[in-house]
Amino acid sequence: MKWATWERLDAAAAAGISAALVTRLADGAQSLFDGERWQGALDLAGEQRAAVRRMLAADKSGMLAGAEGLFVRCYARAPRLVVVGAAHISQFLAPMATLAGFEVIVIDPRRAFASAERFRGVTLIDAWPDEALEQVRLDATSAVVTLTHDPKLDDPALIAALASPAFYIGALGSSRTHAKRIARLTEAGLGDKAGRIHAPVGLDLGGRAPREIAVSILAQVIQVRYRGEGS
């Protein structure tokens, strides 16, 4: 491993950012993905890079499928679930996700909602979502779910998430609500990326109660983490 590569890997670890190191076994050539940039001697194709991101999201090291002699070593932090909106669904989703091994962060500028009494044992950020997500530094092991039903809060969060390598992005709302959301994101120049958003959020399990919706959201996040967006 070259010194510059080691420095970047060490810096990512110090910052709590997941990274993946790709090595060509034939000659030892390497490239590093630190959640934001690719750097190194290997020039990976777009689909290969996407496959590396999926492996990093699942914290799965091994040979890169569909590539000859490329080994991926993942240095992944615990998966992180960022919930925008301290709503009733969030109160069920946060402890469920914690039990499933996720680091949970709840973002809501409304301090009456984002209180330690309502959310125990998780990180609370009472800032506007775009400012909060800049602090969080989303990476390939991050999932983002917006639950406020308020475009003033959800849209900035979605814009920030779409610009990140987060493995999952979901938004609460009906198909009609999501169509309006897509129109707004298209006006913001993100129409080509809006297809990454899972909406209506969660697997269709049939439940309608907040705790049931929380189960469906967490199930979909886990499914995408291990099986990818095409699931």
Q: Distances from the Cα of 29 to the Cαs of 12, 54, 152, 202, in angstroms?
A: 20, 21, 46, 40
Q: Model pTM?
A: 0.87
Q: In the chain, what are the domain boundaries?
A: 3-75, 80-227
* Look-up of token digits 């020039």: 43
Percent of the chain residues past pLDDT 90, beyond the cut: 69
Residue 34 scores a pLDDT above 90: no
Residue 229 scores a pLDDT above 80: no
pLDDT band (50, 70, 90) for residue 112? confident
pLDDT band (50, 70, 90) for residue 191? confident
Would you say domain 80-227 falls under CATH 3.40.50.720?
yes
